[in-house]
């Protein structure tokens, strides 16, 4: 069996051997290109052929372009560990990559194409990925992780709302879809972060000869964090109950803070591949607190939204990609040379983006600084990890 797998792997291009390889590189490259083009559009007059609201187009491409690519890279890789299933590779993986690319092309050309066609092409990727993941999980009896399929289906619904807003069929649908997408991405981060962060922390402590039991895990607390974050959605669906949404966000922040504290992240402060995950989930807590404070302090919604997106999302995506890329290519589990600057840059990008939304007087300089740091973080990932992701495993195994 092993001989057969190795023989098949030899006929598959390295970049199509496992989902994390193409999707991580595409995530990083697209994240950098999107923000660079957006800043050039805002401040340099770069013409973009957009047939939709430019601000919502920018949000859409971060939420439904960059983030789903990162989810695909992680989820299609992790579920092989969860189930023992063979990875999606070769032609099947290429088809999924092309579906994602097609969605990006039509969104960039939305000013030249019928909006119904833009929506039809862009809406395909998430449900196709969800259907494939569901099929694999059900075939192997891995029912616990089907919640991620449900979240992907709901994320598809949020994408549909944004397209209804773009088309004018439901003018408020764009903003509602954006908020619900951020809520759902927060839930996905809570779920995935809750699986990997305590496990990696405990494993690192064990390797250092220290007691891994210091990391306290609780299924009850995991469930509370999941449901506490998910219940923000019903209040946000109305968009007319800010006090209820505030209360839900505060509850979610407290539960997630308690859970994060129980994982004792400071015990692994010497290992960047671990502490970056704790930092990313700390951003989730901060974003939820800011969301809770928004109606009371009359904060611009962009404050919590960018804390969740640029802060939590950007940091967790890079934290996961930098770690998974090492472990799944048979290399030592340590951050490559220069890669620490990926973390420094994404931390700076998140902080500056929140400042840009929070303090109007600093908006211009903070926005430019955030964009520059964001582009540096993701392009540095491409430069450092291209040789790792485009070459065969260091240990000679398939994948």
DSSP 128-139: HHHHHHHHHHHH
Instruction: Please check whether residue 142 lies inside any domain of the structure.
Output: yes
Q: Over the stretch 289-342, which tens digit does the pLDDT of each residue have?
A: 999 999 999 999 999 999 999 999 999 999 999 999 999 999 999 999 899 999
pTM equals 0.95
Tokens of 136: 């694999």
Per residue in 85-130, pLDDT (tens digit) is 999 999 999 999 999 999 999 999 999 999 999 999 999 999 999 9
Cβ partners under 8 Å of residue 304, min gap 6 = 249, 287, 288, 290, 291, 294
Q: Quick one: which of 69, 65, 66 has its CA closest to 21?
A: 69
Task: Report the CATH number at residue 226.
Answer: 1.20.210.10
Q: Burial level of 279, CB count in 10 A (0-12/13-18/19+)?
A: buried
* Contact assessment for residue 312 and residue 186, using Cβ atoms and an 8 Å cutoff: yes
Joined together, the tokens standing for residue 202 give: 């405990």
User: What letter would DSSP give residue 327?
Assistant: H
For residue 264, is it within any domain?
Answer: yes
d(CA 291, CA 52): 27
Look up the domain containing 100 and give its range: 12-45+52-389
Is the residue at 399 inside a domain?
no
State how far the Cα of 186 lies from the Cα of 108, in Å rounded to an integer: 26
Instruction: Mark out the alpha helices in 298-362 (DSSP H runs).
Output: 301-306, 314-327, 340-358
Within a domain: residue 164? yes
pLDDT reported for residue 240:
66
Assess if residue 356 is contained within a domain. Answer: yes
Does residue 195 sit within a domain? yes
Q: Is 396 within the bounds of a domain?
A: no
**Cα distances (Å, whole numbers) of residue 294 to 114, 246, 247:** 37, 7, 11
- Could you give the CA distance from residue 125 to residue 96 in angstroms, rounded to a whole number? 7
CA distance 354 to 309: 10
Give the separation between CA 328 and CA 399, rounded to whole angstroms: 8
Angle subtended at Cα 221 by Cα 204 and Cα 282, rounded to the nearest 5 degrees: 60
Instruction: Provide the number of structural domains found in the chain.
Output: 1
What pLDDT does residue 286 have?
A: 98
Is there a domain that residue 239 lies in? yes
Looking at residue 249, its pLDDT comes to 94
Nearest to 288 by CA among 152, 175, 182, 194: 182
Low-confidence ranges of the chain (pLDDT < 70): 1-10, 239-240
């Amino acid at each position: 069996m092993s001989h057969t797998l190795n023989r098949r792997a030899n006929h598959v291009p390295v970049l199509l051997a496992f989902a994390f390889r193409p999707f991580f590189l595409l995530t990083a490259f697209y994240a950098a290109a999107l923000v660079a083009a957006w800043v050039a559009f805002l401040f340099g007059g770069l013409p973009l052929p957009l047939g939709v609201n430019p601000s919502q187009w920018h949000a859409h491409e971060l939420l439904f372009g960059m983030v789903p690519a990162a989810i695909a890279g992680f989820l299609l890789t992790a579920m092989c560990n969860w189930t023992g299933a063979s990875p999606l590779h070769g032609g099947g993986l290429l088809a999924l990559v092309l579906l994602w690319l097609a969605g990006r092309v039509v969104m960039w050309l939305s000013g030249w194409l019928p909006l119904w066609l833009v929506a039809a092409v862009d809406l395909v990727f998430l449900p196709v990925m969800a259907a494939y993941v569901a099929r694999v999980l059900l075939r192997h009896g891995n029912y616990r992780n089907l919640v991620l399929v449900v979240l992907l289906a709901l994320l598809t619904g949020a994408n549909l709302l944004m397209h209804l807003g773009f088309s004018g069929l439901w003018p408020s649908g764009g903003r509602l879809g954006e908020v619900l997408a951020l809520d759902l991405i927060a839930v996905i981060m809570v779920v995935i972060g809750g699986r990997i962060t305590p496990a990696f922390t405990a494993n690192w402590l064990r390797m250092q000869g220290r007691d891994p039991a210091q990391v306290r895990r609780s299924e009850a607390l995991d469930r509370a964090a999941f449901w506490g974050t998910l219940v923000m959605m019903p209040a946000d669906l109305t968009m007319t109950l800010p006090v209820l949404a505030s209360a839900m966000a505060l509850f979610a922040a407290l539960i997630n803070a308690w859970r994060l504290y129980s994982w004792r992240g400071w015990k692994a402060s010497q290992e960047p591949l671990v502490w970056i995950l704790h930092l990313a989930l700390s951003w989730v807590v901060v974003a939820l607190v800011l969301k809770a404070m928004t109606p009371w302090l009359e904060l611009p919604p962009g404050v919590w939204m960018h804390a969740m997106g640029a802060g939590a999302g950007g940091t967790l995506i890079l934290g996961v990609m930098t770690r998974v890329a090492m472990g799944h290519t048979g290399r030592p589990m340590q951050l490559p040379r220069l890669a620490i600057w990926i973390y420094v840059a994404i931390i700076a990008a998140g902080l500056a983006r929140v400042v840009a939304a929070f303090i109007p007087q600093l908006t211009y300089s903070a926005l430019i600084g955030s964009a520059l740091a964001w582009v540096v973080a993701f392009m540095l990932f491409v430069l450092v990890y291209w040789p790792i992701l485009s070459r065969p495993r260091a240990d000679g195994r398939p994948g």
